[in-house]
Structure 1
Amino acid sequence: MKQSGTSALLEGAVQELASDVVSALRSGGHMRAEGTAVTGEAEHGVASAAVRVVGADVLLPHVLLHTSPTPGELTLFRESVAAYPPRPGAGGTVAWSHWAMTRVLRRFETDVPVSGEPDTAWLDEAGWQHLTHQLAVLAPLARPGEDCAVIRVAKGRPVDVARGFVRAVRRRDWRQAAGAGRWLTMLPGVPDTLGLDAGLDFVDLMGGQDPRVALQLQAARLMRQGAFV
């Protein structure tokens, strides 16, 4: 029961944080100050864990819109990076998500050490379904002007990601569809027949009430409009 309650509390915090990020992306402003104002150890732990789940996208409004995070935002983000390092043998998405967080933190705090890129061997030979699933999890890496091994893998397989996007829409997996759609906005060679803009609008209509879906869609729209790092 306690674990179930903790999971529900974390999910609520993640949804609230993602909603704050969406609001900041839409308004060009900062996230609500109360979003990072925690008053006790338990609340602080949940807030830190929520930052880890949302990942590098917590600071995405500042990256895309060229604003500066508040000290409170940076402190919580930094603490989350330190509190949740990848464990030995962690999967590729865990390692890359952590790498993305350290990379974006270094944009605002130049003394932050960033380790070398994790490998992509687990992605190089992945089938298109698995590739799309993994890229959707790693959607915070999909930022224009950036370069890393995961981005290079994605750029080499735009048709596979497009197929994965269509499959996710048909399966009504709106989070995966939104993440894949975000990648497709920055990949060269995406088939015109995909109708990406209409597809993103449909995902928004059907799943946009989920803040984590809305976050990916708003990021995709900003990138389509020319926002870049």
Structure 2
Amino acid sequence: MEQSGTSTLLQGAVQDLASGVVSALRGGDHTRSVLPAGTDGEAGDLALAAVRVLGSDALLPALLLRTPPDPAEVAVFRKAVEAYPPRADAAPTVRWSHWGMARTLRRVDPAVTAGPPDEPGTGWLDEAGWQTLTHQLAVLAPLALPGEDCAVSRLAGCHPVDVARGFVRAVRRRDWRQAAGAGRWLTLLPAVPDTVGLASGLDFVELMGGQDPLVALHVQAARLMRSGARV
């Protein structure tokens, strides 16, 4: 299969998976199967790659609705974690995404007894401007979970005004994915300026970009967290 064709198929698989997560979150249906059942052959490889791209959010209904996922889904998620470890030259966001998946796997899988892996670190963000910071946090939006502490969430908590500026900028630029990811973080951050109008801002982001399941996923996650959902 040509690389461009593979990329298109993967994008479609990620969109389908995200749509399933959104439906489960909106309906509160924690029993609905979201992850693919089969992981054999070429189709199975594509399914696992889609889970890896979506990261921890592949099991977001189980986390935010606080209900154990189906063991078969846990097995698929574990296989995706094991099949796609970050390479030695992987970008920091890739390393953090994998770390987040490992953290989620420990939470949902009683068979995992190993301690938490070392955090990748946030050195590449320490001196980042607010535009870059917002972009990178939006990429790492699956780490934005209530009550879950890590170096990325602590760094974000030190920059609520910067993330708020980035959220507004993303809305003005019609970058709905970045706006949704930044808005998800803002839901958890302290001292977010009231002038941001986060609730109405998220409504607008959903209205304009909500046909993209990845946008809808972050907006729905933010709404659940604003309503008091915990992991």
User: Structures share a fold, TM > 0.5?
Assistant: yes
| Aligned residue in 1 for 2:196 | 194
| Aligned residue in 2 for 1:6 | 6
Uncovered stretches (5+) of structure 2, i.e. residues with no partner: none
| Aligned residue in 1 for 2:25 | 25
Superposition CA RMSD, Å: 1.4
1:104-163 residue CA offsets vs partner (Å, 9 max, x unmatched): 110012425331111101111110000000000000110011111000000000000000
Change (3 A) 1:44 1:61: same
SS at match of 1:67: coil
Structure 1 stretches of 4+ with a deviation exceeding 3 A read 30-35
**Equivalents in 1 of 2:54, 2:162: separation in Å?**
25
**Equivalents in 2 of 1:159, 1:220: separation in Å?**
18
1:102-117 maps to which residues of 2 (within 5 A)? 102-110=102-110, 111=112, 113=114, 114-117=116-119
Q: Aligned residues: percent identity?
A: 68
**Equivalents in 1 of 2:73, 2:154: separation in Å?**
30
SS at match of 1:143: coil
**Equivalents in 2 of 1:34, 1:18: separation in Å?**
9
Is contact 2:37–2:76 with CA below 8 Å preserved after alignment? no
Give the deviation of 1:22 after TM superposition: 0.5
- Give the TM-score of the pair, scaled to structure 1: 0.96
| Aligned residue in 1 for 2:89 | 89
Is contact 1:105–1:112 with CA below 8 Å preserved after alignment? no
Is contact 2:25–2:61 with CA below 8 Å preserved after alignment? yes
| Aligned residue in 1 for 2:79 | 79
| Aligned residue in 2 for 1:206 | 208
| Aligned residue in 2 for 1:147 | 149
Give the deviation of 1:190 after TM superposition: 0.3
SS at match of 2:177: helix
Change (3 A) 1:55 1:176: same
Is contact 1:23–1:31 with CA below 8 Å preserved after alignment? no
**Equivalents in 2 of 1:35, 1:186: separation in Å?**
27
Is contact 1:21–1:31 with CA below 8 Å preserved after alignment? no
Count how many residue pairs are aligned between Structure 1 and Structure 2. 229
**Equivalents in 2 of 1:100, 1:35: separation in Å?**
17
Uncovered stretches (5+) of structure 1, i.e. residues with no partner: none
Is contact 2:100–2:143 with CA below 8 Å preserved after alignment? yes
